[in-house]
Amino acid sequence: MILDPQEMLKAERHLIEGGINPESLMDEAGLGIANAVSQFFPEPGNLIVFVGHGHNGGDALVAARFLKIRGWIVQLKLVTSIDRLKPLTRKKLQQFEKEKNSTYSSSDSGKKLPIVSIDGLLGIGASGELRSEYIEAAKEINNLRCNFDAVTFSLDIPSGLDGLTGHPYDNAVIADFTLTIAHPKTGLLQDGAINHVGRIATIHLPNLHPLPGQGDGNAFLINSFSVAGKLHEKTHDYHKGLNGHVGIIGGNIGMIGASVLSGFAALKGGAGLVTIIAREESYPLIASISPPEIMVVPVKSYEEVTEMSFDSLAIGPGLGTGEWDKEVLNLLFSDIRPIVVDADALNLIAKHDPSELQNAPAPRLLTPHPGEMKRLDPNGEGRRRERAESFARRTSSTVLLKGARTVIASPSSTQPSAFNSTGNLGMSTAGVGDTLTGLCSAMIAGGINTFDAACLGAWINGRAAEIAIFNKVESFESLIASDLPKNYGQCFKDLKKSAF
């Protein structure tokens, strides 16, 4: 569920009036913030904490105390005098100052220490333009990020961003991560907010619930809590047949790597069997570069696929166009198995009538990027969410609209739409969509419905990019698509242990 800032404030007040100690909420939030920072930066470094006068600053101070215990070198920057801090925030400052530094020193490792700044300036209770002292602090945060490679974590909402509309006021903080408390706020998910919000992580507070009638119940943020239980439990007698058989159609001359990437992702995503269906002219090339676990079957015509035994199909990675267009269209509109539709298969549908998908005999998952969505639905209007929802209804298909904030919509009126929380700009490289297609196909082949598979696939693919960059050796510039499936194993573990 997504809440606007005023609804969140009312829910907090209701909880406190019911007897919950606000200090316990602050301590719980601060610990969650520290744990989130530690997830993305397992090794301590330099921490610069910007503290506002209110409870947002108190949350930042609690997090700073926990990170100080864990070995971070912490510097505080208060935007106001100590006597102007709210009483609870002042108390958290005193507790921070009393805490001794950890005996662990990250400087002993010899590595270059990361620089992290925490934006604890303003919370969801603030509105309008930043005041002068907050403007200077926000400028300093952005300067650290721009000129010193500091990574910025904003608490609940980037200071200077409107919590309802997502409008950034002048000098608003540009966050790499926004750690939203309890529930995502409406403004964080607006189309124009992404460059200030960055990656969203929810700090789970089990006691803090929306009041009756509050919130947008027709949308939710995909995180490890919201998709908990979507992965199927497996018994000791599980075998590859129960994990499902994925068939991949694509990889024609000049684009064979796309089908292999998709197949590799399907294997790492849990498929029991993966087969690439290759036309005779591309078969030798695909077979020569495929991992040994992937089967490659040559065909003269894609019509042969109707007689093959698959639990799901992935159509589009490296498909191109040619004399096979009619054969592929027939599969897309008429095949009895669920299909993940990507790339040139989407462009093929766009040249015809996408509404024909309404009559498909099995579920379809469409995975367009913004350009493909424009071709599929040239007259579509509204925000990304509205466009995805409208097209899902028009085609009776699940729509995964890719982008910096992936949106997933179902044709069902009772299924809330979803916004993905994971990922980073390192994913803006060729082949990432092919890995997503294979991953989602594997989950569908294993018996997960198309909507849940899309949510899980989007989260895992994005989380894999985060692991590659923040926990391993890759950078935003160096990340390539084949790095992602290699990290799926840790992603599945993260899902099960409720990572951020």
DSSP state letters, 42-95? -S--EEEEEE-SSHHHHHHHHHHHHHHHTT-EEEEEESS-GGGS-HHHHHHHHH
Q: Please tell me the distance from the alpha carbon of residue 151 to that of residue 136, in angstroms, as a whole number.
A: 18
Residue 124 in 3-state DSSP? coil
Structure tokens at 240: 């590859």
For the segment 197-231, what is each residue's pLDDT rounded down to a tens digit?
999 999 999 888 889 889 899 999 999 999 988 99
Q: For 448-489, write each residue's pLDDT tens digit.
A: 999 999 999 999 999 999 999 998 999 999 999 999 999 999
Q: Are 198 and 431 in contact (CB under 8 A)?
A: no
Taking only the tens place, the pLDDT of each residue in 148-169 is 999 999 999 999 999 999 999 9
Distance (Å, whole) CA 189 – CA 220: 10
pTM check: above 0.75: yes
pLDDT of residue 209: 86
Helix axes 450-466, 488-496, angle to 10 degrees: 110
- Read out DSSP for 425-473? GGG-STTHHHHHHHHHHHHHHTT--HHHHHHHHHHHHHHHHHIIIIISS
Quote the pLDDT of residue 207.
87
Please name the helix (run of DSSP H) or strand (run of DSSP E) that holds residue 35, with its range, or none: helix 22-40
> CB-based contacts of 336: which residues, under 8 Å, 6+ apart?
361, 362
DSSP sequence for 353-400: -GGGGGG-SS-EEE---HHHHHHH-TT--S-HHHHHHHHHHHHTSEEE
